[in-house]
Chains A and B, each alone.
Chain A
Amino acid sequence: MKKTLFLIILILLAGGRIALAYDIVVVKSGNEMPMELVVQAFSDKLVHLLPARGVKSIEPHRFREIDLSRTPLKSVVEQQIREYRPDLILALGRNALLAVRDIGEIPVIYLLVVAPEIITQDRENITGVKLEIPGKLQFDELSRLLPQVRRIGVIYNSEHSAMEIQEARRDRPDLQFVSLSAQSARGVPSLLEELHGKVDLIWLLPDLIVTNPQTLESYFLFSFKNKVPVLAFSEKYLKSGAAIVVTFDLEAMGEQAAAMAARILLGTPVSGVPPTEISRVKTIVNQTVSRKLQLTVTEERPQ
């Protein structure tokens, strides 16, 4: 009698494992980026989308981590992944994506990678969420918070970030974009002087030539001197002096990736799940700075 019962439980367990739990390897570029938060959001969402029915508590999805700051060799990472034989790889950051891009048939989902297309180059097993923040989303938030802003000053590099200016002009014809092209960082301070009195806001672009530690000070110096707020694209700039930051929501990104992973794990080919832009942004107003710049922020979305 007891033996039969034990056997039934064993069979159930074995059956449950085959049918419901997935092996996922998480490859992290390092610790400095807010990886934990993304991974947490990803795994929570995945469990929600693909619940391990009945025996969930005994055998949930298995997550295994490879930290590149501890295992920096690409070959070693590939070797480990082959041993694990995972159902899916989650690559966090540029270096992680570089490490797993040649893994072959195992599906890869990337997160937190700037310009991933340069790395993936049409590999069919790789998809993910792009890090870029669409200009349109930024200006929607801006209009909501500072509806009086019309003239937007921006310094760009004609080789790298001309596209962004074009798209912005196209998306928001109601705004006036005063754009100046800089050939190098050295030119930024004097170009900023030219913007004096012509703009209501400075738009910071994610372009290393015009936005870097050498030029940042000039932007914020200009901002304080002329009482013109800076709109930035990462929380990183809040403490330097940006008045408003419209940036990605790490949790939303994790959940987005989980949704893609669920579709792939349930059988959709990777090519059928194309890379996506982020769908939700997070807006933060630096209260201290906005008070100093005498801005009247109409409303802040509750976080």
Chain B
Amino acid sequence: MIPASFDYSAPSTLKEALNLLKDIGDEAKILAGGHSLIPMMKLRFAEPEHLIDISNVPGLSYVNFEGDHLKIGAMAREVDLEDSKEVGEKFPIFHDVAKLIADPQVRNFGTIGGNLAHGDAANDQPAVMIALDAQVEITGLDGVRTVGIDDFFYGFYATAVQEDEILTGINIPVPTGRFGNAYHKSERKVGDYATGGVAVHVELDAEGTCTKAGIGLTNVNPTPLRASRSEEALVGAKLDDTTIESAAQYASEDCNPSSDLRGSEDYKRRIIKVLTKRMIHKALERAQ
């Protein structure tokens, strides 16, 4: 388990990091928590010539409620969300997901930015960010641009972050009314990637009618998937068993899982259906 040889820089400002990216070009890779990148390098699936470690870059590790947004710095670690009481109160979904990402060692190092920038549909944070309608902040030498989560994932290991850019933050709108959210994934054993995972966020009016719904699916499509038909089924409706059942059915129909060691396509569709149903119920409970 020895990676190919590489050069290493640890710039101390964002500007320096961006300049390095520009100078070295496509042979450079950002190193955040390293818990996706380094395993790939050890297996020699990835052989970047230059790693730019951004852990010394200040100001990227925040987790703050600011105005009507929850703001998460790209270098905030999974454990920072897991440990934040405030985050847990408004977004218990982050406590759900953190506990399902590997083990404490991985969560102490793995960053939220890296979890998204890796562009892997098997990672868990993407589905959560889809459910919560996150905005991703991407910084280049020309400045900062913001990309909606639906425009972020391009394909297998490919995202909106260009070669000369760095993902710097994630902004999540905090609703004012009644809302609830939840995540669960089915896994073969602890630390495994999802056989299928479902993130649900619902907002309700005073009568209990659903005004907004976000549903994201993990590892059942080449990219993290929004279950749009399921969301539509919920919005404008009272979330009774029949509505939830049909939303769950849509999610299982609209995902595109492939058969592998985790299970057959059919089995995965079933997992998505069951988890969608269960997570809507759980989000609903939390919205009370």
Co-complex (A, B) = no
Could you tell me which A residues sit within 8 Å of B by CB distance? none
